[in-house]
Amino acid sequence: MSNRYIAWDDTIVALATPPGVGAIGVIRLSGKRSFEIINELFPSKDLTKQASHSLHVGFIVHEGKPLDEVVLSLFKGPRSYTGEDVIEISCHGSPFIQQQVIDACLQSGARLAKPGEFTQRAFLNGKLDLSQAEAVADLIASNTSASHKTALNNIRGKFSDALKDLREQLIKFSALIELELDFSQEDVEFVDRSQLKKLVAEAIQHTDALVHSFKFGNVIKNGVSVAIIGKPNAGKSTLLNTLLNEDRAIVSDIPGTTRDTIEEVLNIDGILFRLIDTAGIRNHSHDVIENFGIEKSLQKMKQADMVIYLFDPTEIPYDELQSVATDMEQKGINYLLVGNKIDRSDETDMRMKYPTIDGLLFISAKNGFHLEVLKERMMDLVLKDVVSTENVIVTNARHYHALVQVNEALNDVMEGLRNKIPGDLLALDIRRSLQYLGEITGEITNEDQLDYIFSKFCIGK
């Protein structure tokens, strides 16, 4: 963490809580003149004489008019979120009062904060690294317990720690190479190449794991789309309703009931599954609308992260199910084969009907039998190819792309080591990987990139 703290000339102000009516609203100021500005509006006490990290109750008074009774929280820099002098004003939760307090601050010399400007200042003052700052944005946007947890982990710096370890590995490597370059005249190769190889192999493994975790990170952030596919009357809409615990889709014994796709979200253990009920697929239908629906079902099947193929085992012969499985396998689809309406037949008999098809699951969508097992299977499918790196998960696309570059550069180093290329060329690739790594934590970032990243925050953060 840096010891130099910058205090910007501009003192910024913004509402830190969501706009609208609430019990309280918090207005935040940060900058050189925070104390001076609020002191003018807060007649009860001289704030410049109060201790940092203290609370004060009193009225905000502007042009002789009391606006609201508030609680002030004082934070003197550098012991504050941004590293500057910060004051948080907790006022009553009416948008009208909040606007008046903000206006009073503006008239007294503050200016409105740009999106993410508080966090940007915190970053520039070394309070957070860039990946942590971005985690603040993720945390604010997170809507499941799983995404909340990863965002929190990232703020606590788990991700930065993982990157730091990686960086140390690379610096160690580059130091060894530079050492060899220094002595290159003497024509001795005293740096043990096998040791270098081991270092790079470790670093590659490290980045591989982080890169893989993005797939899961993305799942946590954006959810998993699950298309429920099958023939008319298989019970797809019934399954959707039972999973959601509500009568969302129309169910009837008339084949072809569902004409258009229906999407609803289901939260299983903190992961959002976007369930998509589709029109039943049959080979021949003379109904134009139904055909249109079927077309859409096939499209959804291709786009979904996961497909539940629901079938009535009393109606689907062995060969047909086998060819459905083969077809999805070939298309590279993640699928579950689920036999429905098992309340009407015998599970053992049905299993015997499909002797060589693995991973079959039998449920009753209508009475909820084995639905918990189905949910577990859905979860397993999500977690299938996740390589967990001590819970460090990459959720940010920018980090992911930079890590992919780091990985590529490292593979070039490895290739170079195998081909016994000279040390100065190896050093080049190593520097390239360090460069990309630095872009994640913000050690190496240009101003445009910074502005772009922080502009995606909302105002007041």
Nearer to ligand GTP, 213 or 364 (CB): 364
Q: How many residues bind Mg ion (CB under 5 A)?
A: 4
- Compare residues 168 and 260 and give the one whose CB is closer to Mg ion: 260
Cα–Cα distance between 301 and 309 in angstroms, integer? Answer: 10
Binding site partner of 341, from Mg ion, ligand GTP, none, Cβ cut-off 5-8 A by kind: ligand GTP
Give the sign of the dihedral formed by CA 458, CA 459, CA 460, CA 461.
positive
Q: Which residue has the tokens 């009516």?
A: 21
List all residues 6 or more positions away from 248 whose beta carbon is below 8 Å from its beta carbon: 240, 241, 262, 264, 277
d(CA 360, CA 381): 14
Which region among 8-16, 54-62, 237-245, 333-341 touches Mg ion (by CB under 5 A)?
237-245
Instruction: Name the H helices within 261-383.
Output: 288-303, 318-330, 347-353, 371-383
Cβ 268 to ligand GTP shortest distance, Å: 20
Give the binding range for Mg ion (CB under 5 A) out of 5-13, 231-239, 342-350, 376-384: 231-239
Which residues bind to ligand GTP, rule: CB under 6 A?
Answer: 230, 232-238, 251-253, 255-258, 279-280, 340-341, 343-344, 364-366
**Which residue, 340 or 407, has its beta carbon nearer to ligand GTP?**
340
* Nearer residue to ligand GTP within complex by CB, 343 or 390: 343
| Rounded distance between C-alpha atoms, residue 433 and residue 242, angstroms | 50
Shortest approach of ligand GTP to residue 256 CB, angstroms? 5
Output the six-digit token pair for 311.
């079938």
> CB under 5 to 8 A by kind: which of Mg ion, ligand GTP, none does 78 bind?
none
Of 259 and 353, the one with the shorter C-beta distance to ligand GTP is 259
What dihedral angle (degrees, nearest 10) is formed by the CA atoms of 147, 153, 159, 160? 140
76, two tokens: 């003197």
Contact indicator for 259, 279 with CB cutoff of 8 Å: yes
Residue 258 touches Mg ion, criterion: CB under 5 A: yes
CB closer to ligand GTP, 110 vs 294: 294
Cβ at position 253, least distance to ligand GTP in Å: 4
Could you tell me the smallest distance in angstroms from the CB atom of residue 90 to ligand GTP?
51
- Choose the stretch contacting Mg ion; rule: CB under 5 A; options: 74-82, 139-147, 235-243, 375-383: 235-243
**Minimum separation from the CB atom of position 271 to ligand GTP (A):** 24
Q: Which residues pair with 267 in a beta bridge?
A: 272
| Angstrom distance (rounded) from CA 220 to CA 139 | 12
Among Mg ion, ligand GTP, none, what does residue 77 contact (CB within 5–8 Å per kind)? none
Task: Give the residue at shortest CB distance from ligand GTP.
Answer: 280
| Partner touching 121 among ligand GTP, Mg ion, none, CB below 5 to 8 Å by kind | none
Q: Can residue 237 be called a binding residue for Mg ion (CB under 5 A)? A: yes
Which residue in the shown chain puts its C-beta closest to Mg ion?
Answer: 258
Q: How far is the CB of 349 from Mg ion (least distance, A)?
A: 26
Q: If binding is defined by CB under 5 A, does position 119 make contact with Mg ion?
A: no
Range in contact with Mg ion (rule: CB under 5 A) among 230-238, 317-325, 394-402, 426-434: 230-238
The candidate with the shortest Cα–Cα distance to 403, out of 220, 223, 206, 151, is 206
Return the range that interacts with Mg ion (CB under 5 A); candidates 256-264, 282-290, 298-306, 442-450. Answer: 256-264
Taking the complex as a whole, how short is the minimal distance between the CB of residue 264 and Mg ion, in angstroms?
13
* CB 124, CB 36: distance < 8 Å: no
Q: How many CB atoms lie within 10 A of CB 187?
A: 6
Q: How far is the CB of 295 from ligand GTP (least distance, A)?
A: 14
* Cα angle: 376, vertex 379, 384; to 5 degrees: 120
Element (H, E) at 65: strand 65-75
Task: Write down the residue that tokens 């009837």 correspond to.
Answer: 252
Kind and range of the H or E element at 158? helix 158-182
Q: Which residue has the tokens 């449920």?
A: 363
The Cα–Cα gap between 369 and 284 comes to: 32
- Whichever of 157 and 256 has its CB closer to ligand GTP, that residue is 256
Smallest separation (angstroms) from ligand GTP to the CB of 213: 36
Environment class of residue 194 by beta-carbon count within 10 Å: exposed (0-12), middle (13-18) or buried (19+)?
Answer: exposed
Minimum separation from the CB atom of position 353 to Mg ion (A): 24
| Interacting residues with Mg ion (CB under 5 A) | 236-237, 257-258
